[in-house]
Chains A and B, each alone.
Chain A
Amino acid sequence: MSGRLIDEVEIGELKRLLRAGITISAPPFQVRVQSDNSVLGESLKRLYGACRIDGDAQAADFVIRVGATSAIRRFVRRDVIALIDTPPPFTRLPYEMAPLMFEQALNWCVATRTFTHLVMHAAVVARDGKALIIPGESGQGKSTLCAALVSRGWRHLSDEFAMIDPETLEITAHPRPISLKNESLEAVTAWGAAPESVMEGTPKGTVGYLPPSMGAIESAGQRAMPAAILFPGYTVDSDPSITKMEKGRAFIILTACSVNYRELGEEGSKAMTRLVSRTPIYRTTYPDTASSVGLVESLGLWD
């Protein structure tokens, strides 16, 4: 690996480089970011410390500029918006929420511009090359479960997207800061994790992140095959339960979780059919994180 770890770049220098633009290696992508927002500079150091920057030696998959919506907004009622090459689908946020803006913009780029893989909204963790896919929209507990398993030594592949090779079903890791909201922030604090860049009063409530570890970034190129798909079901006061899901129903729900199923046409539906028919799929309910981890371990797929 070439380039410098962001963690080793002194904050003043990082902000100075960021003003001109830096290209961050966020496997598998190279992401160019340019911003004069100092909150973003600080959060990049904390959230992407395990990633590398390499001057202008790398071409970038995506280019994201993060800045004020107008000159006056750099001084009065300061705000922030992400700009990309096509008209941006984002709405402006207060200046301090630049980290959230950047994460949204990068997620948007990955979701709308990746057609080499079947991409679905899901967290992915793995042990021994066997991956657990945890699908779901935000708020259903996928990030919390992902964070819990990662804290217990699972490899962190992604908190947001399962990128599945349509031929081999192999999963490409895209480890990024794990995004946690509201109660899930408290849940992870309970087992000693320390969310960074916590922002209160965002459109999604309070948002914070757990940065990917050095190990997650360095192992991003390693092979992982889907071993199980598990729908998270955090429910207050429920008894922990896990049941196998009927395949036809799972197919429909997973299709709805996919961001590019329609665009991939026949290739996408073949890949989804293969994934659903080969992989055991479970539905769960659980009242807390500890019991959700217990349910995953009870599957016995990783012994």
Chain B
Amino acid sequence: MTQYFQDPALWGLIAGTPVAATAIIRGRKKISELRAEKAELKQHYANLEHHYTEAVEEAKDRAEEATKTTLKSAMRTLQGLASEQQLAISKLQETYGEHKILQDLLDIDHMNSQFARRAQSIAVLCDGWLGRRRHNASLYDVVRSAKGRIRHFTRVEIRSQSNFAIVSRAVEPVALVLAELLDNATSYSAPETMIEINIRPVPKGVCIVVDDAGVGMNEEEKARAAQLLSSENSASVSSLGNPPQFGFTVMGVLAARYGFTVSVDSTSPYGGVRAVVLLPDDLLTSLHEPEESPAVAASAPLPPEHPPGQPAPGGAAPAPRAPAYPAPGRQPMEQPAPVQPIAETTAGGLPKRRRRGAISIVPTQTESTETPARDSATTASVMGAFQRGTQSGRRSTNASNEGHEVQ
């Protein structure tokens, strides 16, 4: 046993153990310190990365905002111009209604409408101005308006009319959404096929169903469309893709903002896409607005305190304006008949016109053709004017023209 005590290796071992233990402990300590440092660094790095992402995100947002602001104001100018131009075209169409040029004016009008719609779509993406705010309009008119905003509008057939009307704030959005749907429908179907629109009342409101006979969409496209259509967050201009695809994004934004739904996930009976716009009750109204009777308003010359171009008080229709055509051959006896509001309406919701003689050139047998009695002052002024006229006529033509026809 003692031999072991004398062995220096033992003593070495005894002395070495604490040293080794110390070394190990120190090593462990060092390792844990390093670990902590590493974790700290990792944390730091993550923070940096986070800040960096945030900064990039912020820069992107700011760029997006700047783009939107720029586009928004640019589009607003374009929209204003398009709207001004539309008015100018309308006036030209009235002025040259009987000329051949009307055909060209109608074509230009069509192009202008398409141009206005494009500008409107971009404006919607930039949270911009939607354009003219309208009066309440019948659903049928809104659908027809939408139809007029696409290129191949003659392929669109509206199969049903309805008595529903759309409230003023939703007129433009619904028309724009429908126009985008119709644009898709005409673009993705053969040129000789028709696009059908049906209007169906449902318990939750009214559905506008657009059926095309195109190629349809695959599951992936449907999923993407559904995602765009339901997205409530604001659309981003930079993620439209190239070539940019506005349609579904615009529809999604408008549907979310005005509270209706658009879906394109079903198949039409013709194998194409069936798009359904569901308008809830709060966007709908009935057509029976107390509209001032247009027939009477139009036939009676407007009184002077009612200048043309200004809407009549209480008139729902934007129409009232003095008749553009003073009808040739109108009898001078035609005095403005007393304007009476007419309560009856036809089945189609239009104000019913009473039989009146004043409007027609050839009065019917039963109607009196007597000249309305004039009071003495009017008679005097008419006679005075007549006399002045004949006198001035004699003075001016005496020298030059007399005897010309007799030779």
**A, B co-complexed:** no
